[in-house]
Amino acid sequence: MYYQQQPPPAYPPQYYGPRYGGCLKIFLYLLSFSIPIVGIIIGIIFLSRGDPESRSLGRTCLILGIVSVVIACCVGAGFSLFPFLLAIMEEMSY
């Protein structure tokens, strides 16, 4: 009788110690905040990896990218309203 050999059981990979240095993390955080689309892409890439450190790094980069977009929208809205606020304040001073 033919015996089909079973594949070995799949064990989750073992991770020992940090995979990413502090300088790389700071660089990726700064890049994520200064260029939001890059932060969102980096966040998605690192979130798709399996280890907890990569997922944490990806989540932080994604959050920084989204926060940067929100801050940029708020600042843009503030600058677009600034001339109108100046006109209103000028009329009130007469």
Q: What is the pLDDT of residues 4-15, one digit of tens each?
A: 787 777 776 666
| Residue 89 and residue 78 in contact, taking contact as beta carbons nearer than 8 Å | no
CA distance 51 to 14: 9
Assessment of whether the complete model's pTM goes beyond 0.85? no
pLDDT in tens, 19-73: 888 899 999 999 999 999 999 999 999 999 888 899 999 999 999 999 999 999 9
Rounded distance, CA 94 to CA 87, Å?
Answer: 11
Residue 70: predicted pLDDT = 97
At 66 the three-state DSSP class reads helix
